[in-house]
Structure 1
């Protein structure tokens, strides 16, 4: 499945290259506005239920020159938020019992409010001073051409491994017009990413039962930073922060774990999900592949900064948990509140922004 993911990224990259620079830029022109890009990241991730897919597509678009790094950053930040919806939906399985529903929802929505708080802090800062763009650029420049870390552009074994799949897809679309052929190639690549992430998640979720599940629960209960490391490690393995957090929601609902114990796992899972995209960025081809790697580093740096600002520094640490537990308390008494919250924040508001900016 990891091989399929890398192949999919390469296929998308070839598709964008086939479009030509002008056509590719036109395709992403609608997301050039930072608020639209942010909304596209949120809404797109809600619809396909995979921040890895959304971020990988954005990184690949940057790597092929179809999207600027400035345009990709809001999409990446938005994807970080949109991925939290699934965990909230898992909590709905406890809606028949008010107490269990409150516990489960408190544990699930702490992921929401952590990511919203991170966005509230760093998105305005990025719009004004561009620290994520600058730092990721510096990091990318430092890593390229060094003796201790090979240039990712020279990872020929990835190109050799993915070339058969690339050629098969391109051959299948060559009979289509010069414009629609590359478009179909991009769609096939996006579909392959979605299949790879989905199937890999389902496959590896089987690991989160029995002894593996018990080990995670013990790690969560001992120490906050050990719990954070556990969340990061499990997410690296499963390629999905949603899987990591969703598995713990039932334990919170039944009272085995408290929302406060799930909280650091959420923080760690956010960081863990960035490594897939960084690795996938190595499959980028073309003269802009280096910028594609920079876009992947944006995702990593953003989550590191969020951990420092919200969790490591104790001032803001209680905020996500406080908001989650209060929403859970209100929603357990008035269950329509959750539907309004999810529908408004994750669907209606981003869609409205896209429409309004497009009209204006």
Structure 2
């Protein structure tokens, strides 16, 4: 036993529990701040445009542009949890659900950039890099294929909009909306949201609403990052233990462990960053990593569902609806792609092909990252405007 391990094992309960209690208290405070910020974004949009808030989003009336906004915003911020939480607040402030749905799909694509960047840590070792890059890009490949299949279905038949609307109607009753003044969550968040509103109240007219939106977005960016950091400190050892014991036991176990680890650390980026180096070292095969990464897609939806609880009154149903869209989209993608044998292996073939190219010439890596996450989205925006 090492001196460090011995010291940990002989430490008093108080010396171990006090920092953990403080950490959990910090998590609770950050969650409160997250909910207050989401509520503030909705209030900001309403203050900026009143009942005509939808005019603010006419630039994204095209679903392709909405999709690209989700991709680029998440690629830049590197957190789908952050982007979807912001979208929840925007929906509460008037963003149409039909525009928000492609944005959520785009967030799924943008967040997969993290694992691709992590794989570059193995670039000096050709075989390790091939394994790591294929494990990373199977995430990209699945999410791109999911959008290519589900977005046209959504535009034609609205399965996500219809199902999420039905579920949100069950979960948010008319009675709870009519009693919004007595809503516990609204009362609990009122002090925090009130402070944020007062901090920008000195600005004239529409500018106070715009400032409140920007303030809320800034707080969400900070809070989600800090929550992930604190939870990684608290849970990373446990998460790694789950990962090591469950990933190799089959697709169901792998998917469940990916979901659980992501819920524990509150970041799909962290989850995929944990698995990619292990795949690069040869500990897990691409076939084992694949379902684990799909589970991380499901686990990351918990943040938007949590954010939706900050919205009360008439906007509560649509806020919950878009949070449910994020969950349902990932479940539907798994059902259509992973469950169907004819499509299941396609993301793996795509990832392996990309890894072979990247191993031979590192220029393909730069072209892939710049093309998929930035050049292609901008090109599609231009094409959609021209059409």
Aligned counterpart, 1:323 = 350
| Structure 1 counterpart of 2:119 | 91
The correspondence for 2:59, drawn from 2, 22, 30, is 30
TM-score by length of 1: 0.93
SS at match of 1:28: helix
Out of 159, 182, 186, the position equivalent to 2:186 is 159
CA distance in 2, matches of 1:3, 1:169: 13
Say if 1:40 and 1:354, in contact at 8 Å, map to a contact too.
Answer: no
Match of 2:371 among 341, 344, 360: 344
- Aligned mates of 1:105, 1:152 — CA distance in 2: 52
Q: 1:176-195 CA deviation, whole Å, 9 max, x = no partner?
A: 11111111111110011111
Task: Pick the aligned partner of 2:241 from 211, 214, 237.
Answer: 214
The structure with the largest helix share of the pair is 2
How far apart are the structure 1 equivalents of 2:83 and 2:242? 31
Deviation sequence 1:258-311 (CA, Å, 0-9, x none): 121111111111111112212211211442331121111111111111111111
Aligned CA-pair RMSD:
2.0
Q: Which residue of 2 aligns with 1:107?
A: 135
8 A Cα contact 2:38 2:88, kept in partner: no
1:242 aligns with 2:269: yes
Aligned residues: 357
Deviates more, 1:255-264 or 1:151-160: 151-160
1:297 maps to what in 2? 324
| Higher Rg | 2
The question of whether the paired residues in 1 share the 8 Å contact of 2:80 and 2:108 is answered with yes
Contact 1:245–1:262 under 8 Å retained in 2: no
Q: CA deviation at 1:93?
A: 0.7
> Which of 285, 292, 312 does residue 339 from structure 2 map onto?
312
Greater displacement, 272-281 / 327-336: 272-281
Gap change, CA 1:359 and 1:19, over 3 Å in 2: farther
Out of 217, 241, 261, the residue aligned to residue 288 of structure 2 is: 261
Q: Is the 8 A contact 1:39 1:78 kept in 2?
A: yes
Greater displacement, 345-354 / 240-249: 345-354
In structure 1, stretches of 5+ residues that fail to align are none
Deviates more, 1:285-294 or 1:29-38: 285-294
CA change 1:99–1:129 in 2 (3 A) is same
Taking structure 2 as the reference length, the TM-score comes to 0.87
CA pair 193-211 structure 1, distance change in 2 beyond 3 A? closer
Which one scores higher on RCO, CA 8 angstroms, separation ≥ 6?
1
Structure 2: which 5+ residue stretches go unaligned?
Answer: 1-29
2:80 equivalent among 27, 45, 51: 51
Distance of aligned partners of 1:68 and 1:208 in 2 relative to their CA distance in 1, 3 Å threshold: same
In structure 2, the residue matched to 1:276 is 303
TM-aligned CA deviation for residue 59 of structure 1: 1.9
Quick one: distance in 1 between partners of 2:156 and 2:241? Answer: 45
1:71 to 90, 99, 102: 99
